[in-house]
Chains A and B, each alone.
Chain A
Amino acid sequence: MTPLYEGAEAYLYPVTWAGRRALAKWRPPKTYRHPAIDEGVRRSRTIAEVRGTLHALEAGVNAPAIYYVDVDDCIIYMERLDGILFREYIDAHGVTAETLRLARDAGRQAALMHARGLLHGDLTTSNMMVAGAELYIIDYGLSGHARTEREKAIDIHLFKRSLESTHPEYMEEVYKAFLRGYAEVAGEETAARMDKLVEEIRMMGRYVEERRARRP
């Protein structure tokens, strides 16, 4: 069977599951990893993805429904969404009222997730899908549990950075809309604190020019 999509980590196949249009996501073995470590990596990410997706759904986030998981072969059978990645959407449409509405919704959903203590772990515009009028957050393979606000801010920082690397010209507007959505759920105060933490995390990066000026 030819995959619908070949990612670096997983292949996606269009399948039918109990009569429903479904997607099979398979994490193939990597020959460059030691077999024991390869199995550990693939298993733990498959389990993290299923667990994270279920927690996200419980929190009220738009995420694909999970139908079945084969942990030994690292295959997840899930709902097949028909849409395009948010990254591609921004590419195609630029900043429109609809783009900003979707970004706000992404922020709202991220806050719902965070309210439940769930971290996405790879919250980029490539892991968001626009299907119909809805924005979905997908790919929970690197998800985990948040213990501190700073960890939640890492999610938001990653979102901001993904905009910076793919759509630098739209970053400010889209990020602002995202934060507005975040504030709708988490409150203005929390959202403002998150924005401050995001800046702090950026300052922790390697070779950040402004960092020098801040040193006493």
Chain B
Amino acid sequence: MASAATQSSCRVRDLYPSIDWGSEVIVLGIESTSHTFGVGIASSKPPYILAEAKHTYIPEKGGIHPREAAQHHVQVAPRILMEALSEAGLSIRDVDAVAVALGPGLGPCLRVGATVARALAAYYHKPLVPVNHALAHIEIGRLYTCLDDPVVLYVSGGNTLVAAYAKGRYRVFGETLDIALGNLLDAFARDAPLPGDLAPPPYVKRGMHVVDLCAERGSEPVDLPLGVVKGQDVTFSGLYTAAVRAARRLRDRVGDVCLAFREIAYSAVVEVTERCLVHTRKKQVLLVGGVAASPVLREKLASMTEYHGASWGAPPPRLAGDNGAMIAWLGLLNYMAGLTCSIEDAVVKQRWRLDDTPAPWRA
């Protein structure tokens, strides 16, 4: 697979100085926190990511139904697992450890990945490595961008946060107080409603979110609430309500509503990132998560970082969204740092916070 073959040009020993990179270690990682079931395989030797296979549950209508998503994962799990192993040209016996994302995420979905991981670990006598999904996004992002100490903007369907590393772990600087950015965009696209040709599904067409495509038809943004940034946090629910109402009231100006809506929403997360950048005096920004693919968000982030003389980067879209390779990569780091757990302790943690997760290999 092309994306999995892309190599980072930096040296892992610069990114992870405290890990002994001498011996070859191979870790298989399982992702099932939300709509994607993915399996990845990582190695401590270049090209680091040996395989990346996944399948994503797409609801026929509405948002993700956790139970239906979990059923999807159960159905595709064996096939995705085999796909990853054959892509890497390995047997499960060649793997040194099995990693799994235990949270944060949707309970029913998490339990599928955890069950598969526990079964593999027990049957093949492999160490089990617990992985935090948010931290996995960050570390695969660092591997592919070579940013050694970035401010992180993580935006997806279920998460919106800005974090930076300090003293042993990533600290959450700001986050959403209600819904995530991706959730906001999708819910607005469903409920506005958007013009017939743009109405989801799908939510993304030709690499653009339908809300962005709708915004291209606008020229004069309508008045919507600007108070999305609350100190270091963001709150989107008021913007959502006002935008849906405006779209229903101003039928002939839906493009202008979309324009105002997405401008306010994207600018808010960029502003919080800017606050964190200035506050921490760091010089890099890493963009990860499913919404990282948005060209409009990327442009805004580029503009902001250029103003502050900072650089920014994002992993390729396939690895920016949910995937198994990132779980394998963080699993490898955790395994090499000695962070494993017993099968009994491998229980899902829906509310596992990023700032409750140690990152000892950063020091």
Q: B230 on the interface (CB 8 Å rule)?
A: yes
Which size class do A's interface residues fall under? 20 to 34
- The A16-60 residues at the B interface (CB cut-off 8 A) are 30-34, 36-37, 40-41, 44
Q: Name the contact of B175 in the complex, choosing from A31, A40, A206, A212 (C-beta under 8 A).
A: A206
Known contacts A32-B303, A34-B221, A207-B104, A121 near B230 by CB under 8 Å: yes
CA distance A211 to B349 in the complex (A): 13
Q: Are A34 and B231 in contact (CB under 8 A)?
A: no
Q: Name the contact of B277 in the complex, choosing from A8, A34, A40, A209 (C-beta under 8 A).
A: A8
Q: A7 on the interface (CB 8 Å rule)?
A: yes
Known contacts A34-B259, A34-B263, A207-B353, A40 near B226 by CB under 8 Å: yes
* Number of residues on chain B facing chain A (CB within 8 A): 35
Q: Which of B229, B300, B304, B351 has the most CB of A within 10 A?
A: B351
| Sample of 19 more A-B contacts, CB < 8 Å, known A30-B307, A32-B299, A44-B226 | A8-B271, A8-B274, A8-B278, A32-B270, A32-B301, A33-B263, A34-B259, A34-B263, A34-B267, A36-B221, A37-B267, A121-B230, A122-B231, A206-B175, A206-B353, A207-B104, A207-B350, A207-B352, A211-B351
Query: Which A residues lie at the B interface, using CB under 8 A?
Result: 6-9, 30-34, 36-37, 40-41, 44, 121-122, 124, 142, 158, 165, 204-209, 211-212
Known contacts A6-B278, A206-B175, A207-B353, A142 near B267 by CB under 8 Å: no
Query: Which B residues lie at the A interface, using CB under 8 A?
Result: 104, 171, 173, 175-177, 220-221, 223, 226, 229-231, 259-260, 263-264, 267, 270-271, 274-275, 277-279, 299-301, 303-304, 307, 350-353
Which chain A positions have C-beta within 8 A of B264? Answer: 37
Which chain A positions have C-beta within 8 A of B173? Answer: 165
Q: Are A37 and B226 in contact (CB under 8 A)?
A: yes
CA distance A30 to B171 in the complex (A): 26
Least distance between A86 CB and chain B CB atoms (Å)? 15
Q: Which of A36, A122, A207 has the most CB of B within 10 A?
A: A207
Q: Name the contact of A37 in the complex, choosing from B260, B275, B303, B350 (C-beta under 8 A).
A: B260
Known contacts A33-B267, A121-B230, A8 near B275 by CB under 8 Å: yes
**Residue contacts A-B, CB under 8 angstroms, 15 given:** A8-B271, A8-B279, A30-B304, A32-B270, A32-B304, A33-B300, A34-B221, A37-B264, A37-B267, A44-B226, A121-B231, A142-B231, A158-B231, A207-B104, A207-B353
Known contacts A9-B275, A209-B351, A37 near B221 by CB under 8 Å: yes
CA distance A40 to B260 in the complex (A): 11
